C-alpha cells in the first residue's frame, strides 16, 4: 500500500513544494485538492487550477512527480452535486467535469467527490436526482478512463440540525447508489472515521464492499461516550458553536482516536486491497500553522507505516 495525504490542508504552498516535502517524509502518493480558486468550502484547496489546466502543465507536473518518485492517486473535489439551487448545482457539476478533464490529462485514475443532497426533497427523490446528475458524469468519466469515487462522509455541517447532508454515508445507501448506477468506474473512497461515530461496523463494511473500494482515507475519530449518552446519536442541538459541533466526537490523526488501525490495515490486506491509503488531516490540534500541519501529517505517516 502507498501512503499519501490530501493536499489542501497544507494551504497556499505550491503543489511542487508539497510534492517535495511529501517525498522527503516518505509519502509515495497524493490526493490533490482541485476546488475552484474562489470557493467557501472548509478544508478545500486549489493545488491544480483545473479550469485553465493544459497538456503542457500536465506534462510538467508528471515529470516532477517522476523525479520525486511520487504519484497522484486522486484529484479531489468534494461538494454538493445535488444542491437545491440550480445555479449552484450546475456550477458544482460543471467544475467536476473540469476535474475529470484534468485527471485525464495527468493519467490520474480517480476523481473524488460527494453525491450531496437536495435538503428540500425526501431521500428517495434525491436518489432520482442522483441518477439524472451522475449518469452523464459517469459516462463522461468512462470515456476519459477516470473513476468517480464517493467519500462516505454524512456531511452534518451542511444540515442546520447536524443531520446528513449527503445520501451516501451508510451501507444501506451504498446499495441503493450502486443499484441505480451500476458502473464499473463508480466506487467508494472508504473513510472509517465517519462510520465509527455513526455506529457502523467499519471492519465488516470493509469486507462487504471490497469490490467497490477504490481508495481509502486514513482519518481517525475520537468519541466521547459520556457526551454521546447526553446528546444522543443525533448530537448536540442547542448552543452549537458551528454546524459541525455535534458535541460527542471529533476527528483526529490516525492513532489518536478510536479506530483500530492494526485490525483495519490487516483487513485491507485480507480483502486484497493493495492500493492507496490517504491521510485526510482534519485534526484541530495540528492546524494552527503550516508547521503544525506538517507535524500532524508526520505523526500520521509514522503511526500508519508501523502498522503496514
> CA-CA distance, 298 to 210, in Å (whole number)?
28
CA dihedral 153, 158, 164, 167 (to 10 degrees): -70
State the pTM of this model. Answer: 0.96
For residue 261, give its domain range. Answer: 2-306
167-202 core/surface letters (b: 16 or more CB in 10 A; e: else): bbbbeebbebbbeebebebbbbbbbbbbbbbbebeb
How many domains would you assign to the chain? Answer: 1
> CA-CA distance, 216 to 5, in Å (whole number)?
11
Cβ–Cβ < 8 Å for 84, 120: yes
pLDDT (tens, 9 = 90+) of the chain, 308 residues, equals 999 999 999 988 999 999 999 999 999 999 999 999 887 777 778 899 999 999 999 999 999 999 999 999 999 999 999 999 999 999 999 999 999 999 999 999 999 999 999 999 999 999 999 999 999 999 999 999 999 999 999 998 888 777 889 999 999 999 999 999 999 999 999 999 999 999 999 999 999 999 999 999 999 999 999 999 999 999 999 998 888 899 999 999 999 999 999 999 999 999 999 999 999 999 999 999 999 999 999 999 999 999 99
Cβ–Cβ < 8 Å for 35, 41: yes
Amino acid at each position: 500500500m502507498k501512503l499519501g495525504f490530501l493536499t489542501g490542508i497544507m494551504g497556499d504552498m505550491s503543489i511542487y513544494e508539497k510534492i517535495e516535502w511529501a517525498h522527503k517524509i516518505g509519502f509515495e502518493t497524493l490526493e490533490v485538492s482541485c476546488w475552484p480558486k474562489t470557493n467557501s468550502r472548509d478544508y478545500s484547496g486549489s493545488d491544480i487550477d483545473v479550469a485553465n489546466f493544459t497538456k503542457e502543465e500536465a506534462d510538467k507536473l508528471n515529470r516532477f512527480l517522476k523525479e520525486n518518485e511520487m504519484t497522484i492517486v486522486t484529484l479531489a473535489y468534494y461538494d454538493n452535486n445535488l444542491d437545491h439551487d440550480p445555479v449552484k448545482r450546475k456550477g458544482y457539476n460543471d467544475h467536476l467535469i473540469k476535474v475529470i478533464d484534468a485527471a485525464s490529462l495527468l493519467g490520474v485514475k480517480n476523481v473524488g467527490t460527494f453525491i450531496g443532497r437536495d435538503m428540500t426533497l425526501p431521500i428517495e427523490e434525491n436518489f432520482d436526482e442522483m441518477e439524472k446528475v451522475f449518469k452523464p458524469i459517469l459516462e463522461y468519466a468512462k470515456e476519459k478512463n477516470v473513476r468517480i469515487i464517493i467519500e462516505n462522509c454524512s456531511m452534518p455541517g451542511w444540515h442546520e440540525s447536524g443531520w446528513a447532508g449527503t445520501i451516501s454515508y451508510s451501507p444501506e445507501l451504498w446499495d441503493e447508489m450502486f443499484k441505480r448506477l451500476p458502473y464499473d468506474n463508480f466506487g467508494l473512497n472508504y473513510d472509517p472515521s465517519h462510520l465509527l461515530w455513526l455506529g457502523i461496523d467499519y471492519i465488516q463494511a470493509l469486507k462487504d464492499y471490497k469490490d467497490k473500494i477504490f481508495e481509502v482515507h486514513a482519518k481517525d475519530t475520537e468519541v466521547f461516550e459520556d457526551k454521546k449518552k447526553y446528546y444522543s446519536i443525533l448530537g448536540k442541538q442547542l448552543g452549537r458553536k458551528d454546524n459541525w459541533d455535534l458535541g460527542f466526537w471529533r476527528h483526529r490523526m490516525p492513532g489518536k482516536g478510536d479506530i483500530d488501525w492494526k485490525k483495519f490495515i490487516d483487513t485491507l490486506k485480507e480483502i486484497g486491497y493493495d492500493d492507496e491509503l490517504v491521510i485526510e488531516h482534519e485534526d484541530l490540534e495540528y492546524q494552527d500553522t503550516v508547521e503544525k500541519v506538517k507535524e500532524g501529517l508526520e505523526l500520521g505517516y509514522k503511526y500508519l507505516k508501523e502498522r503496514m
